[in-house]
Amino acid sequence: MKQLYGSAIIVSGPSGVGKSTLCGKALQALPEIKFSISCTTRNPRGSEQNGVEYFFLSHQEFEKRIANDEFVEHAEVFGNYYGTLKSQLLDPVKNGYDVFLDIDIQGAMQIREACKKDQLLANVCEFIFIVPPSLQILEARLRGRATDSEEQLALRIGKAKHELSFANLYDYIIVNDNLELAAEEMLSLISSFKLSTKRRQWEE
Amino acid sequence: MKQLYGSAIIVSGPSGVGKSTLCGKALQALPEIKFSISCTTRNPRGSEQNGVEYFFLSHQEFEKRIANDEFVEHAEVFGNYYGTLKSQLLDPVKNGYDVFLDIDIQGAMQIREACKKDQLLANVCEFIFIVPPSLQILEARLRGRATDSEEQLALRIGKAKHELSFANLYDYIIVNDNLELAAEEMLSLISSFKLSTKRRQWEE
């Protein structure tokens, strides 16, 4: 048997679904997992450090790397670039490590597209979407935690609905109802990814 | 969320790999799982009962069902037919149950082919191959348990080598080294299958 690659685990979910809590809980059981760090051109805030929260790049550097096709996904938000270097996903998996990427839907869908043109990327990426038990429960959660006006809340709910419509384009869906159970499901998935013939092969 | 289908879990492995012990151990944790029962034209032996070990069909009945395209795989061995009815896989999964099929490689590969022409089948089937830690260890196991002559043993080992060359055509490979671990891996796989968007979909 030969383990050829680790997995690149790409996780999205709508605002209010509890993605960070769920991922945090699951990943503390996996100390070996790597985290993909994004690049941005915005300035560091507070105690943010280069190579920890983000790689902080100049506009010029970021655009050079776009031109070199180094990003597996990127976007411009309020005049700043954000993006994930292909190497952030491929370097760990080539060394047998799993790498975790918490990313918005637009970014995940760009990576999906990139997989069509890059066989290695296609072999290592697995897409997981976190959903709430129901839209009503998500709405209640957003309502409960937010200090938003009704108008802002309606916008958030509309956005969440739109985001949820992408769930079925991912490979797997985890329902975040019971946190313990959802974390176990994520661990089962990550463990099952290792067993796929996309990443391990029998050799005599 | 809507769980549309269960999974059809198709498991193969070479002789001597401990497939039955491993599957038995994993499946005792899943009392709800269904087992696919094959059809055969051979006569029942000892206490074998129709619908338990096999469905015992006449040659004529079997051939009628072949002609009706009711088999997802079938073969003739020493003048008798053996085969799996498509309904044995699809009826349980349509009702949300997982169904388990322990089958030889030839049969599994026929099901793979059938998946190309049947989208529902493709959406529900997952192919698992059990391998030994190494060919040397498999050889030692075959040598240890068999009362075979050297010649028969060489034949068995040759067959196992040939069978192992199909491992990478399955979706997942489980190494049966530590039985407990291998059973856990099988349970993780079966649990992860439920989460696939091939079988569950977000609906508002």
| Model confidence pLDDT, tens digit, residues B162-181 | 999 999 999 999 999 999 99
C-alpha to C-alpha distances, B135 to A4, A92, A93, A198, B187, nearest whole angstrom: 19, 30, 27, 22, 25
For chain A, state the CA radius of gyration: 18
Q: How far is A89 from chain B (nearest CA, A)?
A: 22
Q: Mention every residue, 6+ apart, whose C-beta is less than 8 A from residue B52.
A: B37
Angle between helices A135-145 and A150-164 (to 10 degrees): 140
At A146 the pLDDT is: 60
Residue of B nearest to A167 (CA): B202
What integer is the mean pLDDT of B76-89? 97
B161, B169, B185 member nearest A195 (Cβ): B185
* Residues found in chain A: 204
Binned at pLDDT 50, 70 and 90, residue B146 comes out as low
What integer is the mean pLDDT of B76-82? 96
- Please state, rounded to an integer, the average pLDDT across all residues of chain B: 95
Angle B184-B186-B190 (CA atoms, 0-180°, nearest 5)?
Answer: 115
Tokens representing A35?
A: 């985290």
B119 has a pLDDT exceeding 70: yes
B2 has a pLDDT exceeding 90: yes
At A79 the pLDDT is: 95
| Interface residue B200 vs chain A (CB under 8 A) | yes
Tokens representing A130?
A: 């976190």
Candidates A130, A194, A202, partner chain B, best to mutate (most B CBs within 10 A): A202
Where exactly are the structural domains of chain B?
A: 2-36+97-201
Question: pLDDT per residue over A164-177, tens digit each?
Answer: 999 999 999 999 99
Q: Mention every residue, 6+ apart, whose C-beta is less than 8 A from residue B102.
A: B11, B12, B19, B20, B23
Checking ipTM against 0.90, whether it exceeds it is yes
At B29 the pLDDT is: 95
At A204 the pLDDT is: 79
In degrees rounded to 5, what are phi and psi of residue A55?
Answer: -95, 120
Q: E strands within chain B? A: 2-3, 8-12, 34-35, 38-40, 54-56, 71-77, 80-85, 99-102, 125-131, 172-175, 200-201
β-pairing verdict for B38-40 and B80-85: antiparallel
Residue of B nearest to A192 (CA): B189
At A49 the pLDDT is: 96
What integer is the mean pLDDT of B198-202? 97
Q: Contacts by B160-165 with C-beta closer than 8 Å and gap 24+?
A: B160/B14, B160/B15, B160/B16, B160/B17, B160/B135, B161/A204, B161/B135, B163/B12, B163/B13, B163/B14, B163/B15, B163/B105, B164/A202, B164/A204, B164/B14, B164/B131, B164/B135, B165/A202
In angstroms, the CA B84 to CA B66 distance is: 10
Q: Above pLDDT 70, what percent of chain A?
A: 100
**Which secondary structure element, helix H or strand E, spans residue A126, and what is its range?**
strand A125-131
In angstroms, the CA B155 to CA B164 distance is: 14
Question: In the CATH scheme, what is the code of domain A2-199?
Answer: 3.40.50.300
In angstroms, the CA B202 to CA B20 distance is: 36
Three-state DSSP at B188 gives helix
**Topology (CATH level 3) of domain B2-36+97-201:** Rossmann fold (3.40.50)
At A108 the pLDDT is: 98
What integer is the mean pLDDT of A18-41? 96
- Hey, what's the torsion of the CAs at A80, A77, A146, A159, to 10 degrees? -170
Three-state DSSP at B189 gives helix
| Interface residue A164 vs chain B (CB under 8 A) | yes
Residues A194/A97, Cβ–Cβ less than 8 Å: no
Three-state DSSP at B196 gives strand
Binned at pLDDT 50, 70 and 90, residue B18 comes out as very high
At B123 the pLDDT is: 98
Q: Which residue has the tokens 């497939």?
A: B19
Question: pLDDT per residue over A154-202, tens digit each?
Answer: 998 999 999 999 999 999 999 999 999 999 999 999 999 999 999 999 9
Residues A128/A17, Cβ–Cβ less than 8 Å: no
What integer is the mean pLDDT of B108-134? 97
Q: How far is B72 from chain A (nearest CA, A)?
A: 23
Binned at pLDDT 50, 70 and 90, residue B204 comes out as confident
At B166 the pLDDT is: 97
At A194 the pLDDT is: 96
B143 has a pLDDT exceeding 90: no
Binned at pLDDT 50, 70 and 90, residue A147 comes out as confident
For chain B, state the CA radius of gyration: 18
What integer is the mean pLDDT of B155-160? 92
β-pairing verdict for B54-56 and B71-77: unpaired
**Which secondary structure element, helix H or strand E, spans residue B143, and what is its range?**
helix B135-145
In angstroms, the CA B190 to CA B9 distance is: 8
Question: pLDDT per residue over B37-62, tens digit each?
Answer: 999 999 999 999 999 999 999 999 99
| Interface residue A189 vs chain B (CB under 8 A) | yes
In angstroms, the CA B179 to CA B183 distance is: 6
In angstroms, the CA B103 to CA B83 distance is: 10
Residue of B nearest to A126 (CA): B196
